Structure 1
Amino acid sequence: MKISATSLCPLGFLSTGDKTVPGNNGLKDQNLAIRWVKKNIIHFGGDPNCITVWGQSAGAASAHLQMLSPWSKGLFNRVISQSGTGLAYWAIAPNDTAVRNGKKLASSFNCSINSSTEMVECLKRVDAYELTERQHAFYEWFIDPMMLFRPVVEPNIENAFLPEHPAEIIKSGKAAKIPFLTGITTQDGAFRSSVIFAKPNLVEELDANFSRIAPLTFLYDEIATDKDYVTRRIKEFYFDNNTITNSSKMELTDVYTDAMFLTGANNALWLHLNHTDQPVYYYAFGYRSNYSFLDLTVNDSYNYGVSHSDDLLYLFLPKLAFPEYEPSASDENVRSTLTSLWVDFATFGNPTPNSQDYKKWKPVQSTNLEYYFVKNDTSMAERLYWNRTQMWKSFPLM
């Protein structure tokens, strides 16, 4: 079952911080859909005891959070999270932030915020389109903060979907005891950096106001206990304290890749490795053809590498996005490899049950985070972007 998270807006993730609207309605909707599949899949020739929940980006974080919720006990048998986990910095909103954003939204429609009930009743009378569009008015720089309304922990709420932070759920052994597969594309962050470099004024603004913008756009504004320190280290490590210019494209891509995807994957993997007895599989997707989803958002011939969503070109037919798409022999080979790995994981809980077909994909076995590198061919490796990983691990982040 493919999980999407299109309700990353007030309709799906408004939270009043109390029982009026505890939050996570989008995740609860997904859970109801999974329950429907569990109940009815047998009527479509499926096996109710062989269900895989699968998502990409926000959907990947959603799939992982489904795995961690007490609502999901016994509902599915494996999880695939592509470029996102419930441990990503953007996946969970601090409760005070969620409540504050809800009140900000309500105030913009002249709704009373004296009580949660009054506020919600007023918001219900607002047109749904206006409600979702209004959040764009709260951007502080470009499209940041990207997601004002996100999943939250629901403390002291009966039958909460997320009664604890995802990290605490994994540590306490309460996550679903099922195989988990996750990973990133090698330049996942290019979907952010490429758009910034398409607008020269944004590059200048980022450089001139780095200390203000960096915490916001690199997602540590709400979680760093020393934002100035983190900001200084990022400028030093990635940019060598130089001016950010048009020649800094890959450096900025790396920051976004690490802040948005690599760190969340690593944090989830370390926790699952140490606190579960189920196999965890890690991958990096590094194959780039002549097509990229960046082609749909920027008019730039620069090769940013393998961007966010580019792996989807080899799992779904891309003709709608790229009508002229004609796959090369290498494209077809990668598509065959990736679909076989995913289908075998969904079927057996092991992406290479028959290692005669492909190089054996071993689960993560140590804190070095062994991973499967998918390019024209496949190979096992470890310590993906390790210097960058260790730096983010050292940051004072909650």
Structure 2
Amino acid sequence: MYILLHSSQRRYHRGKGTKKMAALDNSIVALLVSAVFLSIANISLGSPVLTTTLGEVFGSNREEYNVVVETYHGIPFAKPPVGNLRFKAPEPAESWGAEQLNGTIKPKACWQAIDKAFDRFEGVEMWNPNTPRDEDCLYLNVWRRAPQPGDSPKTIMVWIYGGMFWSGSAVLDLYDGSDLAARKDVIVITIAYRLGPLGFMYLQNNPEVPGNAGLLDQVMALKWVKDNAANLGGSPDDITIFGQSTGAVSVGFHLLSPMSKGLFKNAILQSGSPTAYWAVMKTNKMVERVSKLAANVSCPVSLGDGLLSCLQGVDPEVLTDQQWILVDKWFDVPIGPMVDGNFLPGHPDCLLENGDIQTTNVMIGVNLHEGNIPVLYGFMDDFPLEEEGRPDRDPFRDILLAIADGDDSLQEELLTVYSSEFPDANKRRMRILDAAAGDSLIKCAVLDFTRAYTLLGGNVYMYSFEEKFKSNPWPGWMGVPHGYEIEAVFGVPLNAGSVNPDDEKDLTKAVMELWTSFAKNGSPTYQDVEWPAYTIRFEDWVKIRSKGIDIIRRPRKHSCRLWAHHLR
């Protein structure tokens, strides 16, 4: 909820409460308004205040590790993308005047489907939105140490969430920036962006809906951060963007996009690459999918100029639910990023080949078992969570064939290549599926991007995260799956009541230092660890685990050569 101290600003109020308010008796309205003012007055007493270019925001204080951390939730960086602004590029937020904005309430998540897989057990539920969903969702959140006299400008780290471009939230408990701000003295910002059809709708020959609105939301947020860096206590020239999964893909897009030049200094890509075969949708495929989606919500493309207004009138939940009719593979983004000629002037492979991009310092990496969760979700009938992840022969071959996109010869090649890597017959089938899926979806694309970006002169630091934390809710056979380095980055194992043993807490401290030292200095450092930049000659990367942080030379390449031949 976006609560202001003056009723004239009610145009920014989130949700449907305004219509209901108008129907109430005047006396009840008066009581409610009085209660809101009293509540806000109580919250404001002693609350920290942040001055932005659009107005003041009051937040909340919390002591973390003997320092005071200020939190400001729900700061608008764009106008609510509702009504005739649905699907369109974001427009800058307007000033809310002299009154203070309430920054103590988490904003709503952008509209998305709720994941109900596996009876919504903890490993699923932790990724679902923890606030209501709404189209009015373009807000950001700030964590910083309470400013002190004589402070130098601090490094700003901007988090971009993942979720396959159809899910995600900037205020998940996992993304709480207070530990990073308290322990490492950086300013942490999480930003929201539109998802699914609402964020990536494309209407051919309609310049008002050119696609990639969700990515343009990110650009708008980064502009807000740069414009407000000094107000935050940071430097506009010391901004690092970091993200995981499709958040990492987004970070990669910003490295390639002319629209993002100058908005950040360093970049961290966790388990994602803009060069992944699924990251960019071909225009003809997007046109086909939009046509199918539109017809299914009673807005046929034959409406011509009336198509946009028709789609803008469809309930957001209906649009979100109907996107699943578009999926035709085991791993598929229903509606997502595309080459639009502006934000993405060309395919990432072509942009890297041409070299007309921003080169800077990049940290990029993967988790040990990237493929397990995609395989589990794609074929959940074959993998009951309570079992040991050992598929029978026939389901195993069927799944491998699906990963090979129905190519029988590729399936046999994959079986030959990966069988030699896993001698343990008891675990071989699951490990083959994990490796094949992980390589094709993430790992090989990460390696491709690392090599290409290094050749252009970028400084790249590559890692593999290989620690399964005790707090990880998934079965042991899942290993170190996609997404489960994030808790270390944000310091979750250090929280009070944590079940993590001391070695995992020590590793968490190391990860936080590696990530923030990279953000501050452009290279990751921790105690006596020497993390060399990736080079074409030596191809150094580091293995991160509680046993130690070790330098490894030459990551897996043979399987990636195999995938490179088939994925383009």
| Same fold? TM cut 0.5 | yes
Counterpart of 1:3 in structure 2 is 160
Q: d(CA) in 1 for partners of 2:427 and 2:463?
A: 30
Aligned residues of 1:88 and 1:260 also touching (Cα < 8 A): yes
**Residue 122 of structure 1: CA displacement?**
1.7
| Structure 1 residue 261 corresponds to structure 2 residue 451 | no
Q: Secondary structure at the match of 2:253?
A: helix
- C-alpha distance in structure 2 between counterparts of 1:168 and 1:351, whole Å: 29
Partner of 1:16: 203
CA distance in 2, matches of 1:256, 1:346: 31
Equivalence for 2:368 = 186
Which of 525, 530, 533 aligns to 1:360? It is 530
Contact 1:16 1:99 (C-alpha < 8 Å) held by counterparts? yes
1:272 matched to 2:453? The reply is yes
Structure-2 separation of matches of 1:375 and 1:287: 5
- In 1, the alpha carbon distance for the partners of 2:351 and 2:382 equals 43
Shift of 1:114: 2.8
Q: Is the 8 A contact 1:13 1:26 kept in 2?
A: yes
Change (3 A) 1:251 1:145: closer
Displacement of 1:72 in angstroms is 1.0
Residue 200 of structure 1 deviates from its aligned partner by 2.5
Matched, 1:214 2:395: no
SS in 2 for 1:303: helix
Identity of aligned residues (%): 25
Q: 1:212-246, CA deviations, whole angstroms, 9 ceiling, x for partnerless residues?
A: 73355xxxx8xxxxx55434423443469xxx999
Within 5 A, what are the aligned runs for 1:144-155? 144-155=330-341
Q: 1:47 to 1:170 in 2, by over 3 A?
A: same
TM-score normalised per structure 1: 0.84
Q: 1:181 to 1:137 in 2, by over 3 A?
A: same
From 449, 462, 483, give the equivalent of 1:309: 483
Q: Residue deviations 1:297-347, cap 9 Å, x none? A: xxxx4422211111012122548xx99632211111111111101001100
Q: Describe the shift of the 1:197–1:71 C-alpha distance in structure 2 as closer, same or farther (beyond 3 A).
A: closer
Match of 2:467?
Answer: 287
Query: How big is each residue's C-alpha offset from its partner over 1:1-33, in whole Å with a ceiling of 9 and x where there is no partner?
Result: 011254441111122344342211100000000
Contact 2:352 2:453 in 1 (8 A): yes
**Partners of 2:481 and 2:305 in 1: CA distance:** 43
User: Is 1:27 matched up with 2:215?
Assistant: yes
Structure 1 counterpart of 2:510, one-letter code: T
Distance 1:70 1:116 in 2: 32
In the alignment, the residues of structure 2 paired with residue 239 and residue 116 of structure 1 have an alpha-carbon distance, to the nearest angstrom, of 54
Taking the aligned partners of 1:71 and 1:254, their CA distance within structure 2 comes to 35
Matched-pair contact (CA < 8 Å) for 1:280–1:364:
yes
Is 2:557 the counterpart of 1:386? yes
Q: Contact between 2:491 and 2:509, CA under 8 Å: does it hold in 1?
A: no
CA pair 201-378 structure 1, distance change in 2 beyond 3 A: closer
Gaps of 5+ in 2: 1-157, 163-167, 169-193, 385-390
After superposition, the Cα gap between the structure-2 partners of 1:235 and 1:52, relative to the gap in structure 1 and judged at 3 Å, is: same
Map of 1:136 onto structure 2? 324
**Aligned residue in 2 for 1:224:** none
**Secondary structure, aligned partner of 2:365:** strand
1 or 2 for the larger relative contact order (CA 8 Å, sep ≥6)? 1
Instruction: Check conservation: 1:369, 1:383, Cα contact below 8 A.
Output: yes
| Aligned residue identity for 1:375 | R
2:499 maps to 1:330 = no
Gaps of at least 5 residues in structure 1 are 222-226, 296-300
Contact 2:203/2:211 (CA < 8 Å) preserved in 1?
A: yes
Q: Following TM superposition, by how much is the alpha carbon of 1:82 offset from its aligned partner in structure 2, in angstroms?
A: 0.2
Change (3 A) 1:343 1:323: closer
- How far, CA to CA, are the matches of 2:326 and 2:351 in structure 1? 32
2:349 counterpart residue number: 167
What is the distance in 2 between the residues matched to 1:132 and 1:17? 20
162-171 vs 2-11, greater mean Cα deviation: 2-11
Closer, same or farther in 2 for the Cα pair 1:107/1:231, shift >3 Å?
farther
> How far does residue 67 in structure 1 lie from its aligned partner after superposition?
1.4
Q: 2:302 aligns with which of 92, 109, 114?
A: 114
Q: 2: CA distance between counterparts of 1:258 and 1:116?
A: 42
User: What CA distance in whole angstroms lies between the structure 2 residues aligned with 1:351 and 1:312?
Assistant: 17
Note the C-alpha offset of 1:208: 6.9
Q: TM-score, normalised by structure 2?
A: 0.60
* 2:238 counterpart SS class: coil
